[in-house]
Amino acid sequence: MSHSRTILTLNSGSSSIKFALFDEASATERLLSGLVEYQPGGAILTSRTPDGVSKRMVIESGDNQTDAHGQMIRHVLNFVENHDSGSSIAAVGHRVVHGGPHFEGPTRVDQEVIGQLEALVPLAPLHQPPSIAPMRLLMEQKPDLLQVACFDTSFHHTIPTVRTRLPLPAELLDGGARVYGFHGLSYDFIASELEARFPTIAHKCVLVAHIGNGASLCALVHGRSTATTMGLTVLDGLMMGTRCGTIDPGAILYLLQQKNMTPKEVQDTLYYKSGLRGVSGLSSDMRVLRENDADENVQLALDMFVERFVQQAGGLIAQMGGVDAIVFTGGIGQHDAAFRRAVCQRLKWLDVQLCEDANLAGRPRISQRSGRVMVLVVPADEETTIFRQTKRIMEGSHKS
């Protein structure tokens, strides 16, 4: 039985909770990882240990449906604590989607910080509340436990003002409206992986594509974010699984004025009924769409997914003044060889030369060495970033 101290990372969303348990004394040793996926009447908790042992358990929700999210968080905490009774959780790191204009790095959680995060709910109404919920629960149950908020927006604070200012009257922006960018924990991890594994391009111009149900691009120059496709909210930028991405603002007015939709109906449409799902009329799951690509609407959705990528990639490459490497990450970016192939074919003009065998195998490098632009596949690992940032706060090397 171990007697180590551990760090728990929580990525709490509206329909799932991802968690991982790390040994505090290690660099990145993961003792346990898991996912809670909500379903009618409860949830499914799936866990995996480093030796590949996987467990699956059904969690039934109680009678109090208004506290269903809190119930699931309690199940996660109990499960983790019972995993190894000889270890103790020294800190919990939380993924927080929106840090607003003030949180530029990982921050120790207290009541004042929670209040500041709640004030940002209007900027991320669907993502912010699930991030705050476990903080409040832990503060009530374990008031002495160190909690650290790790922000998706922080990584993008290096983007210049000329790219973050919204072209609206100044008096309308005093609530913090500006371009923020998201997926920052993922991009932070990619930047560190490039430094460690591909140092020859780590400080050059790199386009990173985090492509999953949520999707965005980030222009890295010298390992720092200089431009990104998401903006004030996670709706902006690329076409996504169920989100529309960049859209004519007049289309929103059209939905409100001509279709007589309420703001809530418009919000639900833009977040949950658009993108791949909306265009295909079938699904937001890329695997399902690949199996049904003979359908005309499905094929249109797949083509638009690539088209929007190429369009916005071109913009970021122009902002960087060129590109030396392209990195695919995220669920689709890592696992969908057909998507990577389609994108690279459209970017041949940059001298992107794909190695088809490497692409099908999903190897770390999928470009031919004769091409000028290196193309990589690097698995996303937001949990490791949260662990590292939480450990920095524990060690007192980062001011909270």
**Residue 325: φ, ψ to 5°:** -155, 150
* Residue 382 among known ligand-binding residues: yes
Give dist(CA 7, CA 69) in Å, integer. 22
Confirm whether residue 286 is marked as ligand binding: yes
CB distance 37 to 19 below 8 Å: no
Q: For residue 199, give the amino acid letter.
A: P
Q: For 118, phi and psi rounded to 5 degrees?
A: -65, -30
Considering the candidates 23, 51, 110, 152, report the single residue annotated as catalytic. 152
Annotated ligand binding at 285? The verdict is yes
The C-alpha atoms of residue 378 and residue 153 are separated, in whole angstroms, by 21
Q: How far apart are CA 287 and CA 378, in angstroms?
A: 20
Q: Annotation-wise, does 243 bind a ligand? A: no
Residues 226, 228, 231, 233, Cα dihedral to 10°: -120
The response to whether 213 counts as a known ligand-binding position is: yes
For residue 23, the cross-strand partners are 6
Beta-sheet pairing, 325-329 with 205-211: parallel
Residue 152 annotated in active site: yes
List C-alpha distances in Å: 28 to 23, 106, 179, 213.
8, 18, 32, 26
DSSP 55-67: EEEEEE--S-GGG
Q: Collapsing DSSP states into helix, strand and coil, what is residue 298?
A: helix
On whether 214 is known to bind a ligand per the annotation, the reply is: yes
Q: Is 204 annotated as a binding residue?
A: no
128, 117 contact by CB (below 8 A): yes
68/71 Cα distance (integer angstroms): 5
**Which residues carry a binding-site annotation?**
11, 18, 95, 210-214, 285-287, 382
**Which residues carry a binding-site annotation for Mg(2+)?**
11, 382
**Which residues carry a binding-site annotation for substrate?**
95
Residues with catalytic roles: 152
